[in-house]
């Protein structure tokens, strides 16, 4: 087959026109930007979120892109039956499920973030169980139902959002003397998510379903200071984070969107089972 200029154009490679993407954790710091990136590039988006903010953001997206391009569902994903029912409803009502972005994770005291009770020495079974539930079990549930729809239709791309801490351990000195703490259950659950991604890619590749990971590095929430895990740009903790990267700065959510669009589109049609680290060079030194 002859290669044409049209086949190599960015509009052809990265288009999401007429595709439907499901995004979990859509009202969060990263999720909000993911939804907007998908919408801005032609996708119809089904957005899932737990807080009331999903309703506010949903209306804003409808006003900007049209009500036919966005569908919003407020759900507590810890309610497994509710999640399964909603995924089944989405799978039955949408013409196709082309992209699944498993982004949701609870960042708070119940998963051990930023509290001494979340440390390696003090972390509880409940914290670990909660991290594993939202870190890998939610992705398992959505993949079983919506990914199975992809398998049936013979195409689809699953994008799981992990973390660089699935590959390298947090540096203890980074957190010393600060109120910040990254719990062990988070790293373990995201490492499991990376493994689950490879497993899915291996078993469903022959059915046209691809599965890949995006693993963000230091993407601290310095923009929405009302968030639980937010931190001021000039804080000593953020300065330490910057010093651990070779680019000497933290990332912005928009800087994850290139990888998201790549993995969601035909531009990555021969890529599956991979974990893309976007960390400012943190893990190379």
Tell me the pLDDT tens digit for each residue of 213-225: 999 999 999 987 7
Question: What is the pLDDT at residue 169?
Answer: 97
> What is the CA angle 71-74-80, rounded to 5?
115
In the predicted structure, residue 11 carries a pLDDT above the cut 90: no
Contact 156, 150 (CB under 8 A): yes
Question: What is the pLDDT at residue 77?
Answer: 98
In the predicted structure, residue 227 carries a pLDDT above the cut 80: no
Question: What is the pLDDT at residue 259?
Answer: 98
Question: What is the pLDDT at residue 192?
Answer: 98
Q: How confident is the model at residue 2 (pLDDT cuts 50, 70, 90)?
A: confident
Q: How confident is the model at residue 170 (pLDDT cuts 50, 70, 90)?
A: very high
Question: What is the pLDDT at residue 280?
Answer: 98
- Alpha carbon distance 115, 109 (integer Å): 6
208 Rama class: left (phi>0) / alpha (psi -120 to 50) / beta:
left
In the predicted structure, residue 231 carries a pLDDT above the cut 90: no
DSSP 17: T
Question: What is the pLDDT at residue 42?
Answer: 97
> What is the CA angle 45-51-56, rounded to 5?
60
In the predicted structure, residue 229 carries a pLDDT above the cut 80: no
Domains of the chain: 5-278 (3.40.50.720)
Q: What is the pLDDT of residues 184-194, one digit of tens each?
A: 999 999 999 99
Contact 218, 245 (CB under 8 A): yes
Question: What is the pLDDT at residue 278?
Answer: 98
The CB-side HSE value for 17 (13 A sphere, CA atoms) comes to: 5
Q: What is the pLDDT of residues 236-277, one digit of tens each?
A: 999 999 999 999 999 999 999 999 999 999 999 999 999 999
DSSP 221: B
Question: What is the pLDDT at residue 63?
Answer: 98
33: part of which helix (H) or strand (E)? helix 31-40
Q: What is the 3-state secondary structure (H, E, C) of 88-125?
A: HHHHHHCCCCCEEEECCCCCCHHHCCCCHHHCCCCCCH
At 272 the three-state DSSP class reads coil
Q: What is the pLDDT of residues 20-57, one digit of tens each?
A: 999 999 999 999 999 999 999 999 999 999 999 999 99
149: part of which helix (H) or strand (E)? helix 148-153
Percent above pLDDT 90 for the chain: 90
> What is the CA angle 160-201-91, rounded to 5?
65
Other CB atoms closer than 10 Å to residue 275's CB: what's the count? 18
The predicted model gives 137-149 an average pLDDT of 98
- Alpha carbon distance 167, 190 (integer Å): 9
Other CB atoms closer than 10 Å to residue 222's CB: what's the count? 17
Which residues lie closer than 8 Å to 123 by C-beta, 6 or more apart? 112, 117, 183, 184, 185
């Amino acid at each position: 087959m002859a290669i044409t200029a049209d086949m190599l154009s960015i509009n052809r490679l990265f288009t999401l026109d007429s595709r439907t993407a499901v995004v979990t954790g859509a009202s969060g710091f990263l999720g909000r930007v993911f939804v907007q990136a998908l919408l801005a590039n032609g996708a119809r988006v089904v957005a899932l979120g737990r807080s009331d903010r999903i309703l506010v953001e949903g209306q804003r997206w409808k006003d900007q892109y049209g009500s036919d391009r966005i569908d919003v569902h407020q759900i507590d994903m810890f309610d497994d039956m509710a999640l399964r029912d909603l995924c089944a409803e989405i799978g039955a009502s949408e013409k196709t499920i082309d992209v699944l972005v498993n982004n949701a994770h609870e960042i708070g005291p119940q998963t051990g973030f930023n509290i001494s009770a979340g440390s390696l020495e003090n972390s509880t079974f409940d914290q670990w169980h909660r991290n594993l539930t939202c870190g890998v079990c939610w992705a398992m549930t959505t993949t079983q139902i919506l990914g199975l729809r992809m398998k049936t239709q013979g195409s689809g791309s699953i994008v799981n959002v992990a973390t660089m801490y699935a590959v390298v351990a947090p540096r203890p000195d980074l957190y010393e003397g600060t109120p910040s703490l990254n719990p062990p259950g988070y790293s373990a659950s995201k490492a499991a998510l990376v493994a689950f991604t490879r497993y899915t890619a291996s078993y469903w590749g022959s059915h046209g379903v691809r599965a890949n990971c995006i693993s963000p590095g230091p993407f601290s929430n310095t923009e929405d200071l009302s968030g639980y895990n937010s931190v001021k740009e000039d804080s000593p903790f953020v300065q330490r984070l910057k010093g651990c990267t070779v680019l000497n700065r933290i990332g912005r959510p928009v800087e994850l969107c290139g990888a998201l669009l790549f993995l969601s589109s035909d531009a990555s049609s021969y890529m599956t089972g991979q974990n893309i680290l976007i960390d400012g060079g943190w893990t190379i030194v």
